[in-house]
Chain A
Amino acid sequence: MRDKIKIASGQGFWGDLIDAPYNQVTGGDIDYLVMDYLAEVTMSILQKQKNKNPKLGYAKDIPELMKRILPVCVEKKIKVITNGGGVNPVACAEAVVEVAKSLGINNLKIAVVLGDDIKDRLDEIINAGCNLNNMDTGEPITKVKNDILSANVYFGALPIVEGLKLGADIVITGRTTDTGLTLAPMIYEFGWDKDNFNLMSAGTVAGHILECGAQSSGGNFLGDWQSIPNMAEIGFPIAEAFPNGEFIITKHKGTGGKVSFETVAEQLVYEIGDPKAYITPDCVADFSSIKLEDLGNDRVKVFNITGEKATEFYKVSCSYSHGYSASASLTYSWPQALTKAKAADKILRKRLENLNLNFEEVRSEYIGYNSCHGPLSTEIDEDKINEIMLRVAVRSMDYGSVERFGKEIAPLILTGPPGVTGFAGGRPKPSEVVAYWPALMPKDLVKPEVKIIEV
């Protein structure tokens, strides 16, 4: 058993800094690189790509990234764990195999975690007595079943651990919790008992700190943000984990950003509900138990973490098609920028009304005035405001109404208030609204599978 492992965060979301994973594997010694690619909206996008081409449906950045990092990972024996397999982890693994071959790398083992995709099993699951009721509204899933775009179970760390035990150098999963990616190597390397819920919670907390990339190392820091050095070359977080469940959050030497009590604490409170019940497939972690000790030099010790037994359920996330939306913006200049923008909004709404279009919602916001803080925004002195951007967004179940809205924006330039610019992108096109259906499912209705693909 090892007495310490270093787990590095490489991506906080699909679209994060492209060079971050490369910098993590080259900037110092690490044992694991973990990368989270999947937001809820991502699954439906990937499912659409797979519907068009059965070879797609995973984070397409991965093969390109692997081309850069694989030679380093092989040389330094760094294992890579990612949920970027999306709705097609096998195709993702096959693409990585091709990359490895092109680089002349042999003896590479890739574990693929399967079984989270339940889109084609919904009838079977409903027949087994699980109605996949909406966790928020209580309605049964049959209400939206025909519009479902994707349906996935959130697996935890254990299938990844199985892959590591089978000797995998790379683990590619579909819908796995972000926290499971980080917890898994701790369970594997330290031989943790999956029923030791304090340890499961410790690894889960480490995962929560790593899962949003540089958000724990000085990015998006609302404290004294100007004190964060060299954000241009920000270092992504690294967890130095110990067998007793304690870990230190740090980053590579010489990188920008900052790891402090404050930067880690901000990430700990990010997107949590009841801190005493942070529910994952692996445990129910108690975030109120977490203690931090700022050791200085970009090192923060995280310890004292407790938690309880996991629930009997997996969370299921389904996405379904729910109409169309579009948004458009126009910019009005001084003088009277806000008054002009408000007048333009009124004219636009009157025209939409005269057309008898059908919208569920029409929302107007004034960027430069109230688009962030709404009614909490302070009143502005119009003489001192140089410009205001009017942003109008609409949503409807009727494609035609949203499409017609898009045709009513540009005319405002010649038929509305003066001093307007900033309409260069063409007519806004309706985009499909994807809504979510969160549900719970008994764990025994689905079984994760681990498949090994070798080069």
Chain B
Amino acid sequence: MKINLLDIAHGRSGDKGDAANIGIIAYDDKGFEIIKKYLTAEKVKKHFDGICLGKVERYELPNLRALNFLLHNTLGGGGTVSLKFDAQGKTLAAALLRMEIDVNDKN
């Protein structure tokens, strides 16, 4: 079964130098179990192929039903060095919520 991440979670993104942070929050405990299991650093890295040029770090905040991802080398140099229209990665949380999760996928 395929689930749209947008339907089970929300989030917010921002900049930390040239890295972007994306916090993803599940709407309920069931949703958190799904993102905890299926939203791996590898999947996020692959999703942002061509955008995130560095490594992806993943952290859990179970009390908030949330995961935090740090995407290194993502914002074109960061700050005022970046030529990106979205130099602060403000829209990247929505970009991650585009993901479809296959909940039968055991990988």
B12 touching A267 by the CB < 8 A rule? yes
Given known contacts A270-B23, A433-B81, A276 and B94 CB-to-CB distance under 8 angstroms: no
- Answer whether residue A375 sits at the interface, using C-beta atoms and an 8 A cutoff: yes
In the complex, what residue of chain A is closest to B85 when comparing beta carbons?
A371
- Complex interface bits, B2-31 against A, C-beta within 8 A gives 1, otherwise 0: 000000001110111111010111010000
- Answer whether residue A444 sits at the interface, using C-beta atoms and an 8 A cutoff: no
Looking at the assembled complex, report how far the CB atom of A190 sits from the nearest CB atom of chain B, in whole angstroms.
24
A136 touching B17 by the CB < 8 A rule? yes
B14 touching A266 by the CB < 8 A rule? no
CB-contacts of A254-305 with B (<8 A)? 262, 265-276, 287-292, 304
A304 to B62 alpha-carbon distance, docked (Å): 13
Looking at the assembled complex, report how far the CB atom of B68 sits from the nearest CB atom of chain A, in whole angstroms.
6
- Answer whether residue B103 sits at the interface, using C-beta atoms and an 8 A cutoff: no
A366 to B19 alpha-carbon distance, docked (Å): 23
In the complex, what residue of chain A is closest to B98 when comparing beta carbons?
A376
B64 touching A322 by the CB < 8 A rule? no
Looking at the assembled complex, report how far the CB atom of B88 sits from the nearest CB atom of chain A, in whole angstroms.
9
Q: Residue among A275, A393, A438 with the most chain B CB within 10 A?
A: A275
Given known contacts A266-B23, A276-B59, A436 and B83 CB-to-CB distance under 8 angstroms: no
B14 touching A271 by the CB < 8 A rule? yes
Question: Which residue from B66, B83, B85 sits with its C-beta under 8 Å from A372?
Answer: B85
- Answer whether residue A222 sits at the interface, using C-beta atoms and an 8 A cutoff: yes
Looking at the assembled complex, report how far the CB atom of B31 sits from the nearest CB atom of chain A, in whole angstroms.
12
CB-contacts of A388-404 with B (<8 A)? 391, 393-395
A442 to B79 alpha-carbon distance, docked (Å): 26
**A322: which B residues are within 8 A, CB to CB?**
81
Q: Residue among B25, B50, B61, B76 with the most chain A CB within 10 A?
A: B61
Q: How many residues of B contact A (CB 8 A)?
A: 46
- Answer whether residue A374 sits at the interface, using C-beta atoms and an 8 A cutoff: yes
**A361: which B residues are within 8 A, CB to CB?**
76, 83
Given known contacts A266-B11, A434-B79, A272 and B23 CB-to-CB distance under 8 angstroms: yes
**B16: which A residues are within 8 A, CB to CB?**
271, 273
A367 touching B85 by the CB < 8 A rule? yes
Interface of A is mostly: mixed
Looking at the assembled complex, report how far the CB atom of B60 sits from the nearest CB atom of chain A, in whole angstroms.
7
- Answer whether residue B55 sits at the interface, using C-beta atoms and an 8 A cutoff: no
A376 touching B95 by the CB < 8 A rule? yes
- Answer whether residue A2 sits at the interface, using C-beta atoms and an 8 A cutoff: no
CB-contacts of A191-246 with B (<8 A)? 215, 220-224
Given known contacts A271-B16, A376-B47, A292 and B85 CB-to-CB distance under 8 angstroms: no
Given known contacts A361-B83, A375-B51, A266 and B17 CB-to-CB distance under 8 angstroms: no
**B51: which A residues are within 8 A, CB to CB?**
374-376
**A325: which B residues are within 8 A, CB to CB?**
80, 83
**A274: which B residues are within 8 A, CB to CB?**
57, 59, 70
- Answer whether residue A36 sits at the interface, using C-beta atoms and an 8 A cutoff: no
A448 to B15 alpha-carbon distance, docked (Å): 28
**A271: which B residues are within 8 A, CB to CB?**
14-16, 21
In the complex, what residue of chain B is closest to A286 when comparing beta carbons?
B61
Question: Which residue from B60, B61, B83, B95 sits with its C-beta under 8 Å from A394?
Answer: B83
Q: Which 7 A-B pairs have the closest CB atoms?
A: A269-B23, A393-B83, A223-B10, A372-B91, A271-B14, A363-B83, A371-B85
Q: Which residues of A contact B (CB under 8 A)?
A: 40-41, 136, 215, 220-224, 262, 265-276, 287-292, 304, 322, 325, 327, 361, 363, 365, 367, 371-376, 391, 393-395, 433-436, 438
